[in-house]
Every structure is written in C-alpha cells, then in structure tokens.
A and B are shown apart, each in its own frame.
Chain A
Amino acid sequence: MSKNLSPDVSECLELLETMHVIRYAEEQLGEDFAAGKLPGGVHLSVGQEAVAAGICAHLTDRDQVSSNHRGHGHFLAKGGEPRHLIAEIYGKQEGCCRGMGGSLHVADYSKGIIGANGVVGAGIPVATGAALANLMDDDGSMTVVFFGDGASNQGVLQESMNFAALWKLPLLYVCENNQFGQFSPTATVTAGVISDRAKAFGIPVEVVDGNDVRAVWQTMARATDHIRSGNGPMFVEADTYRIRNHFEREHLIVQTPYRSQEEVEKMRRERDPIKMLQEWLKAEDLADNETLQAIDEQAKTLVKEAVAFGDAGTPPPLDVGLKYQFAGTYN
C-alpha cells in the first residue's frame, strides 16, 4: 500500500507526453477527415485526454482495457503504437487490426487492448468477461472499461455491476461524462447522478475532475490498490468535456445547435487538460518552458512518423475478410 499519492515529476512529464501524442494524433485525423483522406469516420476525444492518460498510467500489458467508439486515446495511453493506430484508421494492412476494424475497433490484444467498440455500451460485457478471466487467473491483473455518460443508460451496465459486485471482479468502471451523448446534452436523457447507480450495488465510487490528469492519476492509484487487493470493482465518474464535434461528419448532418460556441471556446481556453498540466508544472517550478517544448516536439515527431508509416502502408488483399473471420482451427 506504499503507493505514491501523487505522480512525481517524471510521471507528470510522461502523462504530458501521452496527452500530447493523443492530441496530435487526433488533430491529424481530424484534418485527414476534412481532406477526404479517411475511408471511414472518426470520433475524437480532444479535451478528454487526461482520463485515458491518468488511468492507463497504472496499467501493464497484463491488464485489459475495453473501450468505446471514442477509443484512440485509450489505445495510445495503454501502450498501443501510434503508427499501428494511424495505419489502421487509414485502412492499411499494417494497422493494428490489419485494416479490418478501423477507428471504431482499434485493438492490440498483445498489449491488453481488447477493443474499442462500435456498439455503445457493448464494451461493458466484454470487460466483465475479461475481468472474470483476471479473477480466474488470480495473478493480480485487472480490467478497465471506458464508456460514456450515454452508455451508462444501457442495461448491460447495471447487469455488469451486479456481476462485478457479486463476484468481486477486478474491474474498474470509468464513465467519461463529457456532457453529451451524441447530440443530446446528458441531463436531457439521463436521470440522477450516474455514479450513484454504482452505489446501489455497493460499489465504491469516486467522482473526479477528468481534465485534471493528476487528479485522475491519484484516483486511479487508489482504485488499483482497492481492486488489485481483491476487494472487487470500483466506479470512477470522470467529469470532462468533449471539445470537438461528436464525430467529424457532424457539421454535415446536424442543423440544430445543441450547445453554444462560447461554451466550447471557454472550455478550450480554460479547461484544456494539457495546458492545465503545463501551467501547474511551471507554477510549481517543476519544469521550464524548454522541457515542456521538448516533450511537445517529441510527441509531434512520433505522430509525424506514424502518419508517414500509415501513408506508406498498403491496402489489404480483397478476400481478407474471409481469411480473418474464423480461426478455423481445433484444439
């Protein structure tokens, strides 16, 4: 239980780099979409990077992460390679899923990234099964499931929490409350406080400022302690804000505004998790401009290389769907 209560400087700088990588990768994908370069759509998590970074900082390859349609950040924070992410979203066979899944399904099972998911809420049962595997393995591994405030209205969340509480599954629920489910403000479709639902199952809850990466990190330090000690699940509601559109196609299909531009700009100015960490590091005299600049550049370079890798990739063979559908093997 001798876990640090706060991330030290080097941990903070790692968190910063992770958030930068996610941000640069996603901004690139936003540009690519606008330029008509992407075969499919993308849901970007700009403004929410602190949740993925702060949570995944405490996980190893033996732990599983199950995620949702806004899953690039979870993939990268959990150790997925930026070049495998970009190539996948470009539909190239060099991608993490060989171009079969794309943005909605990025996964790298060798790193415990057991899949983004195109069906809202569907990552929750999958995570519940993974956590059952963790329990049966009895090796201290755990599973994290990321989902949105919208997904919390799916029945499977309540089913899963019942399972997890009953069986003491090593499962962390992370609800990223980004204030919207598609084009509906959360309060218009969701009754009560989401994390209160976990309390009904006797699951311990923490509500955290999801834009404060240090706070998320600290919450996760407590959560891993609780879960890895065999005490069963925990529920974290991370309060955050989606800066960009629901998906990049939004402006083409949504005519009625569901939030004000001023609100978005204010959040961008005042609640950007990257800026918040940078400013804190400077105010505390823990990092100077030069250090911060170097980390920024490093992340930018990594993403540039990833894009070059994706550009140089090749489309998969035409009949590949038939090939990957079944393992076709018997034990």
Chain B
Amino acid sequence: MARLRLIKAINEAIREEMERDEKVFVLGEDVEASIFGDLRGLFEIFGKGRVRNTPISENTLTGMTVGAAACGYRPVLHIMFANFLFTGMDGIANQMAKARLMSGGQIELPITIIASYGGGRANAAQHSDTPYSAFMNLGGVHLVVPSNPADAKGLLKSAIRCNDPVLYFEPAGRGGEMGDVPDEEYLTPIGKAAVVREGGDLTLISMGTTMRMTLQAADRLAEQGLECEVVDVRTLAPLDEDTICAAAARTGRVVIVDESRERASAASQIAAVIAERSFEQLKAPIKRVTALNAGLPLAPASEQYLLPSVDKVMAAATEISKNVRVSE
C-alpha cells in the first residue's frame, strides 16, 4: 500500500495503461504542461506522439476521439474543467453516444474523457459545475465518479480498457483526497457501487466530491447514536441499482448526497429507483441533499450557501430519523 493523493493515483493509472497498450494516447489542451498535475511526467515518458498538446477546440476534440477510436485507437481526452464538456457537446452527445448504435454495432468506441469537476474553490459559475447528471440522460456513455485515490486509479484503468465511451469525473480540486492505493495491479469495475461503512439506522448514499462530507456526517451521527450504512455509488451510468436498493432496504431511511443541482440531479434518479424498487421497505421519505438550483457564485460564503454540507446532511438525516430508537 502506498499513501497517495488522488491526482497521483490518476497519473499512475494513465501511465500504466499507456505502458500496457500502445494504442492508448492522451490529447488535450496543455496536456504537456499538465496544469492539474494528473498528467505530469507523461510527456517526458511517452513523447509528443502519444501525449498530444492540442489547440483550444473542444468540439473538434470530442469528435476527433470518435474518428480515432473507430480507427483502432484508445484516446484519452483531458477536457480540463467539466464545464468544457458543454463546449464539446456535439462530439459527445451526437457522435460518441450514438455512433455505435447507429452503425448497428459495427464499431467499438474506447474513448475516455477526463473532466475535473465541482465547486467550493471560488472558481465562479463556468468552472465549478457538477454536470454529470446531464450526461446520465445521454444513453450512450458510461459515467464514473470516484471519491478516493484507490477507486480513482482502478476506475480510470477500467475506463481506458472499456470498449465504450466513458466520461471520467475527476474530483481533484487541490489534488483531491489522500488515501491508500494497492501496490499490485487492480481494476475497479465500472457499474459497481461500494458499501464503505455499515450501520443499521440510516443509509447515506453519495459519490465523488460529496463522499467526504457524507462520511463526516456518518461519524457525527454515530456520536449521536445513529449508525449509518454508507454507499459510494462510484458509477452513475450504468447505476448499480442492486447494491443501492439493498442498502436502502436494510435501513428504510435514505439520504442521498450529491453536488449536482437539485432538479434532475443524480440524487433524483437514485431516489426514483429506490422508490420504485424498495418502496415497501422505506420507513421515511427519501431525502436529497444537493446543490441548490443556481450557478455557483464567486463569493466564497455565497458559494457555500448553495452547496451541500455536513450540516445539511445532518439536518436531512435527523429529519427522517425522528422515530428511530437509538440503541443503547
């Protein structure tokens, strides 16, 4: 086990996959300089043929990955901030999400797009979105959202090996979380959620950047005598409905914590699935703790006001726990 920052775990994943398969190459704006640190050193190892510094042309870049993938390559596109996915939307929504279907399955599209997301750093509204839920509706792309270094590495390796397009949402503000990463080779499967804490009173479900506050809330609730089961969703599409619903059913009280905006958030979809599949086991309304329905302001306190927080998770958990008998 090595203790790594999430950004470094991502770096290792890309390096290992580039070493493993010469069809893997990286492209994007300033990937050579790697301003986020996740690509640091790759240019020196693999050279400009496989770490391709590009012009600022997102819509062409996303479409290019489709052409290159259809011709046998495995492009890894670093789009920088997740907001720029919107700039490159045609290539994503109309091309990569559709080309395999429209061709009757003639091709595989092993494309990975890395997008750093999330607020809380006074980046203002065009550099702070958590847009994954918008992409959940596309149908033709997988979405992964790791929360810790081990999953960040394992999910990225799986994404690069996956023969379908994967949007990889990187929760790496300030380098992301620290955590243990196994020394030996491993893959984290796409489409599998993880139960990261057990407890019989409440089920907290989260992903990516909001996992930290969710785990903190679980600690504080435990101090108050409420034991929480915590699920890290890890993949938003396809959603691991079985793990999520089983965890929801075990306690019957569910709080979903998600940094996307409330309306049509990832939490909304998860809540709908639980309501449909596990209604009989629910003992209280499902609660969603999400960002409020506005872009994120620059002013730090105003930004925080809109974002989920430990206190908001605590409040939601407390509200649906009124009649829980706290065990001695």
Contact = CB atoms under 8 A, between A and B. Distances in A.
Partners in one complex: yes
A105 B104 CA distance: 10
A177 B254 CA distance: 60
Contacts of B158: 330
Q: Which of B25, B99, B103 has the most CB of A within 10 A?
A: B103
B59 interface: yes
A166 to B, nearest CB: 7
B70 interface: yes
Contacts of A166: 55
A331 B60 contact: no
Contact of B105 (A95, A98, A114): A98
Contact of B55 (A100, A118, A162): A162
B62 interface: yes
Contacts of A122: 63, 90-91, 94-95
Interface stretch (A43-51, A125-133, A179-187, A260-268): A125-133
Interface string A311-331: 000000000010111111111
B104 A98 contact: yes
Interface in B29-61: 49, 54-55, 57, 59-61
Contacts of A324: 100-101, 103-105
Contacts of A247: none
A159 B68 contact: no
Contacts of B109: 327
Contacts of B59: 125, 155-156, 159
B60 A156 contact: yes
Interface in B124-177: 139-140, 142, 158, 161-164
Contacts of B95: 117, 119, 122, 125-126
A107 interface: yes
B104 A100 contact: yes
Nearest to A166: B55
Q: Which of B21, B25, B140, B163 has the most CB of A within 10 A?
A: B163
A64 interface: yes
A131 to B, nearest CB: 7
A107 B103 contact: yes
Interface residues of A, number: 52
A119 B99 CA distance: 12
Nearest to B54: A163
B65 interface: yes
Q: Which of A95, A105, A325 has the most CB of B within 10 A?
A: A325
Contact of B108 (A97, A115, A160, A327): A327
A22 interface: no
Nearest to A108: B106
A321 B98 CA distance: 11
Contacts of B99: 115
Contacts of A124: 60, 63
Interface in B14-28: 21, 25
A66 interface: yes
B64 A129 contact: yes
A325 B73 CA distance: 19
B67 A132 contact: yes
B66 interface: yes
Contact of A125 (B62, B69, B71): B62
Given A126-B95, A133-B73, A162-B57, A326 B65 contact: no
Contact of B103 (A93, A97, A130, A162): A97
Contacts of B107: 109
A326 B57 CA distance: 27
Nearest to B23: A136
A64 B107 CA distance: 14
A289 B100 CA distance: 46
A156 B103 contact: no
B102 interface: yes
Contacts of A131: 67
Contacts of A273: none
Nearest to B97: A325
A99 interface: yes
A96 interface: yes
Nearest to B189: A330
Given A159-B60, A163-B54, A100 B71 contact: no
Contact of B67 (A93, A128, A327): A128
Nearest to B70: A114
A130 B70 contact: yes
Given A97-B102, A115-B103, A331-B21, 19 more contacts: A97-B103, A100-B104, A105-B102, A107-B103, A109-B106, A119-B94, A126-B64, A129-B65, A129-B69, A129-B75, A130-B67, A130-B68, A130-B70, A132-B64, A133-B73, A160-B60, A162-B55, A323-B105, A324-B103
15 contacts: A97-B104, A117-B95, A122-B91, A124-B60, A125-B61, A128-B67, A129-B71, A129-B75, A132-B67, A133-B68, A133-B73, A137-B71, A156-B63, A160-B57, A330-B161
Interface of A: 64, 66, 93, 95-101, 105, 107-110, 114-115, 117-119, 122, 124-134, 136-137, 143, 155-156, 159-160, 162-163, 166, 321, 323-331
